[in-house]
Structures are given as C-alpha cells and as structure tokens.
Amino acid sequence: MYKYDPIDQQIVNERVAQYRDQTRRYLAGELTDEEFRPLRLQNGLYIQRHAPMLRIAVPYGLLSSKQLRKLADITKKYDRGYGHFSTRQNLQLNWPKLEDTPDILAELATVEMHAIQTSGNCIRNITTDQFAGIAPDEIIDPRAIAEIMRQWSTFHPEFALLPRKFKIAVSGTEKDRAIVQAHDIGLEFYKDTEGQMAIKVWVGGGLGRTPILGTVIREHLEWQHVLSYCEAIIRVYNIHGRRDNIYKARIKILVKALGIEEFKRQVEEEWAHLKDGPLTITQHELDRVAKYFEPMPYKTLPAHDAAFDAAVASNPAFAAWVKRCVHAHRVSGYRAVTLSLKPHGKAPGDITSEQMHVVADLADAYSFGELRSSHEQNLILADVQLSDLFAVWEKARAAGLATPNIGLLTDIICCPGGDFCSLANAKSIPIAEAIQMQFDNLDYLYEIGDLELNISGCMNACGHHHVGHIGILGVDKDGSEWYQVTIGGKQGNDASIGTVIGPSFSAEEMPDVVKRLIEVYVRERQDEERFIDTVRRLGVAPFKAHVYAEKETA
C-alpha cells in the first residue's frame, strides 16, 4: 500500500498543527460556530446527538495492521472501545471529545492517517472496490490513480468550499462493486482498443434526497488526463452549482438542470484550457505511486489444498463460512476473506478495539499485514492461502467475526440513524437488529440466498436504501418514527433505484414486513432466481398485495 514520503508526512503534520490552532481559537471564542463548522467538518468532525463524531479517512479502503492497531488504541483511549466502519469505507468514532480531536489527529498522523476532507463541502475520500488488485475480473487496478487523485484533491485551493460535498469512486473491474453510478464522479477504468488504460467518466450520480444515477460524460479518457478532466468538471460545478438551497446543491441537480449535453459542452470547453497542462499525469509519477500497489510476494501454490477440501467436506459450519465469506482470488491457491461486521443483533459495521487487534493479528499472520474495508461495512483479508483458511476461520469465529452471512439478508447496510445522528427521522440500528433476529436461522438465510437490505434513518441516504434490493427509510410522521419500504433497488452495472411499496410502517411491524416480502419471493421465484430478479420480473404488485393483505381487511 502507499507509504508516506517526507512530503506526505509534513502535510498531515502541518494539518494537525493548523487544526489544533483552529480548535483552540474556537474554544477561546475567537471563531463562531458558523466559522468553525467548515473547518471541523473538513477534518471529519460532526457535532452529533450525544457527542461529536469523528470520521477518519481510510483512503480507498486500504489499511495496514499497524494502522488498525492504532485505531484500536484510539477507540480505547478517546472513545468507548469501539468504532464504526461506514459505507464510504471510513471509520467513525461516536464518542470523542471535541477538545481531544487535535490529539487524536496527531496520533493518526504517526501512522500515516488523517481525517482530511472526510466531511464538508469538498472532495471526499475516494472509494473503490474492496477487492482491487486481487479480483479475478479486474481489468485495471485503480488504486494508484486513486492515490494520485487523493493527493490532488487534498487541500485543493479551488475546491475547498464547493456548493456541496463531492464524492468520487473508481472501479477497474468487469462487475462494478464501487457503485460508480451513484457518485458525483464515477471513473470506470478499462483497456481501450490500443491496450491502453482508459477511463469512462460518469457524472451527476448521487443518492440522498433526490436519488439519481450518473450519466456518461465521456466514454474514453486517457488516464494522463484524469486530473485535468475532473478539474474541469468541478470548476464548472463550483461556479454554477446552486448555493441557495443545500438540497439542490449537488452536481446531479446542475447536470439535470443544464442537461448532460450542455454540461458536457461547458466541461469540454474548460478542459480545452487545462488539457496537456501541468495536471497531465506523467508516466514517472504513475510509476512512482504504482510501485506501492504491486502484487504481494505470493508463493507458487497449487489450485487445491487437500486439507482444506477435507475440512470443507467434514465441517458444515466451516463450509458455510467458506461459501459466504471466502472469495475468488486471481492468484492460484489464494483467497480473499470477508470478516463479517454484521453479527446478528449488533449494530452493522461496529467493531470493538479488541476485535481490531484480532483482525490486525490475522492480517499479519495470514495476509501480508494489510486489510481493506468495504462499502458494505465489513473488513477484508485480501490475500489468504487456502491452507490457512481454517485457522483464520477459527480465530475469526472466536472473535465474533465469522458470521457466515456475507451477501445475505442479514449483511445489512445501515446508517447510524437516530441513536447517534441529529438529522435522523428515525432510528435505524434497532431495525437492523430486529430484522437480524427475525432471520436468525442460517439455513433459512441460505435458502433465501443473495439479498441486499439497506437502511437509512432519513432521506440523506447514508445507508444507501435506494439501491438496496430491499430499502428501508426512516420517515417522520407527526413527530413519530415510521419506515418506508422500497424494493427493486440495485447497485452494480445494472444499478436501479427502488420503488416504494406503499404507506409506511411502525418499527414493530418492520421484521414482519420483511418476512412477508421474503414469503412472496420464496413462493414466486423460478429456478435460481435471486430476490432482485423476481422483483424485476414481477414488479411491486404481488409483494405489495401480501405485505398489506391484513391491513386492507382490518
């Protein structure tokens, strides 16, 4: 993974000093709340329901064991002994003290970490596929370019105060796992007819209050121009994006208002001035950064391991875990492992500091000391030998990190919701927990198969409910908490936004609503059809009919 040179280190150190002084001035009353707000936000600090929330950047989801141990120590020392992995691959602390945040950032800087631009109206952490570099369907490893873009976007002098936040995702695989279409800019890497690395550029996607999937603004962009092209897009947005209404301030609204043709015309006009200028990435710079993302020193291993095969055959619990949590790898004899942060009945994405230490140890012992976070809020060991899987499973299981539910109904994506977030209409974590308990039967979960259930506590959509096969959204009706349900949303190359099935439900009704949706699916499905396929084939009607059946007669 990328290692800081003295320049990178100096930048994060200077940032700590700058922020320490800003916090001091705020506490001394020299900065108003309003003035401090963008400063703290650009350091990941929200002021929340119970305490501030600090969002720590995990650039494109890559972490070293050393960094994870530091995070474990920080959660122990400054928080309540746990952290929360977010849907944008970052780590959030729910209970830090404002006065402590400069010290936390100083500790982070010692392990090449920071909280820069994890919030605020600026370019945010760039996200990507958690299997980057090892996925069998990967065409191009986008991480070197993602790192170059991280540096370009860090304290960009023109884009510190955009109309609204700006999210970029990169992906270099056949099957998109980074939801590039749901980002302000999505960069899809591919090899062009000349065999060169090229990029398809999507713009204007975003979830939130007005969910919109992105549009292709450029089919073919040579990688050298990715900075100048993004700069052109963001300049047009910076000047013309709305600033009078935060709900209409995202780039997606501008693209819709102008139309993609006009927006593209303006971008290309701007780009004509920037193209081939100093922003053009040199081969030398790409090579300098890319050398940090070279393949691990893999052993030459056979494709099969007899002991592993025997363990799968004789141990059903292990076999179940292998089926759900172990993923293909491009190198023979290796696998990627997802450590589930979704044990039934616990807040999705939460991890204790003890568990962080376990994961760091696992990474050191079995996966070259590195791990990744996924936007599904799990952790990944990317490079595990087949022969080590059993040992990894035993240790992960002992630490509560081996729930074999990856990709299943209980692998819920969930925002912090009303328990922590002051914007929430409704709680979301208890809903996730109740649904997990309702389906706390692995055999039934396997029978249901692949299903993505996403929950957001309000229309800001931090929990990606629009693209969940089942989406749950907290709504406020006369001051009480209700939940609106959508089905048919999907992430990936054929992304879609879910359809609302009808009037909303109370919290107590929710587990039963999900149960009924599943009953219709189990009744109607054909062959190997997944839930999402059945919804797409039949539409909402049969689901709606069954879910509301009693309500109508009552």
Amino acid letter, 387: S
Among 163, 214, 417, 468, which residue sits at the site for ligand SF4 (rule: CB under 6 A)?
417
Among 26, 36, 46, 505, which residue sits at the site for ligand HEM (rule: CB under 6 A)?
46
The answer to whether 462 contacts ligand SF4 (rule: CB under 6 A) is yes
Provide the mask over 435-464, with x wherever binding to ligand HEM is found by CB under 6 A and - wherever it is not. -------------------------xxx-x
Specify the stretch interacting with ligand HEM by CB under 6 A; choose among 32-40, 207-215, 304-312, 351-359: 207-215
3-state secondary structure of 152: helix
Specify the stretch interacting with ligand SF4 by CB under 6 A; choose among 64-72, 214-222, 405-413, 458-466: 458-466
Q: Residue 43 phi/psi, 5° resolution? A: -110, 20
The answer to whether 486 contacts ligand SF4 (rule: CB under 6 A) is no
CA angle 352, 354, 357 (to 5 degrees): 115
Q: Residue 533 phi/psi, 5° resolution? A: -70, -40
The answer to whether 489 contacts ligand HEM (rule: CB under 6 A) is no
CA angle 301, 302, 304 (to 5 degrees): 125
The answer to whether 475 contacts ligand SF4 (rule: CB under 6 A) is no
Q: Residue 8 phi/psi, 5° resolution? A: -60, -45
Asked whether the beta carbons of 271 and 229 are under 8 A apart, the reply is yes
Provide the mask over 501-520, with x wherever binding to ligand SF4 is found by CB under 6 A and - wherever it is not. --------------------
Edge to edge, what strands does the sheet with 197-203 contain? 127-128, 168-171, 185-191, 197-203, 215-222
Tell me the closest approach of the beta carbon of residue 133 to another protein, in angstroms: 22
Give 440-445 contacts, CB < 8 A, sequence gap 24+: 440/344, 440/345, 440/410, 442/320, 442/404, 442/405, 445/405, 445/408, 445/409, 445/410
- Strands 453-456 and 413-414, by their bridges, are parallel
Among 133, 142, 214, 416, which residue sits at the site for ligand SF4 (rule: CB under 6 A)?
416
* CA 350 – CA 248 distance, rounded (Å): 32
Q: Among candidates 437, 427, 408, which has minimal Cα distance to 483?
A: 427
Partner from ligand SF4, ligand HEM, another protein, none binding residue 160, C-beta < 5-8 Å depending on class: another protein
The answer to whether 44 contacts ligand SF4 (rule: CB under 6 A) is no
Tell me the closest approach of the beta carbon of residue 84 to ligand HEM, in angstroms: 6
Helical ranges in 439-475 per DSSP H = 442-448
Tell me the closest approach of the beta carbon of residue 415 to ligand HEM, in angstroms: 5
Among 103, 222, 285, 512, which residue sits at the site for another protein (rule: CB under 8 A)?
285
Among 224, 353, 403, 456, which residue sits at the site for ligand SF4 (rule: CB under 6 A)?
456
Partner from another protein, ligand SF4, ligand HEM, none binding residue 5, C-beta < 5-8 Å depending on class: another protein
CA angle 394, 379, 9 (to 5 degrees): 125
* CA 62 – CA 68 distance, rounded (Å): 10
The answer to whether 52 contacts ligand SF4 (rule: CB under 6 A) is no
DSSP letter at 204? S
The answer to whether 359 contacts ligand SF4 (rule: CB under 6 A) is no
* CA 243 – CA 263 distance, rounded (Å): 18
Specify the stretch interacting with ligand SF4 by CB under 6 A; choose among 211-219, 234-242, 266-274, 409-417: 409-417
Residue keyed to tokens 């949303």: 489
Q: Residue 361 phi/psi, 5° resolution? A: -65, -45
Handedness of CA 537, 542, 544, 547 (dihedral sign): negative
The answer to whether 423 contacts ligand SF4 (rule: CB under 6 A) is yes
Edge to edge, what strands does the sheet with 334-339 contain? 62-64, 370-373, 379-385, 334-339, 326-327
The answer to whether 3 contacts another protein (rule: CB under 8 A) is no
Among 77, 80, 98, 151, which residue sits at the site for another protein (rule: CB under 8 A)?
151
Specify the stretch interacting with another protein by CB under 8 A; choose among 11-19, 168-176, 314-322, 536-544: 11-19
The answer to whether 420 contacts ligand HEM (rule: CB under 6 A) is yes
Partner from ligand SF4, ligand HEM, another protein, none binding residue 204, C-beta < 5-8 Å depending on class: none
Tell me which residues in 87-146 interact with ligand SF4 (CB under 6 A).
none
Angle between the 429-438 and 510-524 helix axes, to the nearest 10 degrees? 50
Our CB check for ligand HEM shows the closer of 164 and 516 to be 164
Partner from another protein, ligand HEM, ligand SF4, none binding residue 291, C-beta < 5-8 Å depending on class: none
Query: Taking the CB of residue 260, how many other CB atoms lie within 10 A of it?
Result: 15
* CA 336 – CA 385 distance, rounded (Å): 9
What DSSP letter does each residue of 254-275 carry, written as one string? HHHHH-HHHHHHHHHHHHHHHT
Size of the site for ligand HEM (CB under 6 A): 25
Among 28, 193, 284, 526, which residue sits at the site for another protein (rule: CB under 8 A)?
284
Partner from another protein, ligand HEM, ligand SF4, none binding residue 333, C-beta < 5-8 Å depending on class: none
Among 108, 168, 362, 424, which residue sits at the site for ligand SF4 (rule: CB under 6 A)?
424
Among 45, 170, 339, 415, which residue sits at the site for ligand HEM (rule: CB under 6 A)?
415
- Residues of this chain that bind ligand HEM (CB under 6 A): 46, 48, 53, 86-88, 92, 164-165, 167, 182, 206-209, 250, 415-416, 420-421, 423, 460-462, 464
- Residues of this chain that bind another protein (CB under 8 A): 5, 7, 10-11, 14-15, 18, 22, 31, 35, 38-39, 121, 151-163, 235, 238-245, 257, 273, 278-279, 282, 284-285, 288
- Residues of this chain that bind ligand SF4 (CB under 6 A): 415-417, 421, 423-424, 456-458, 460-463
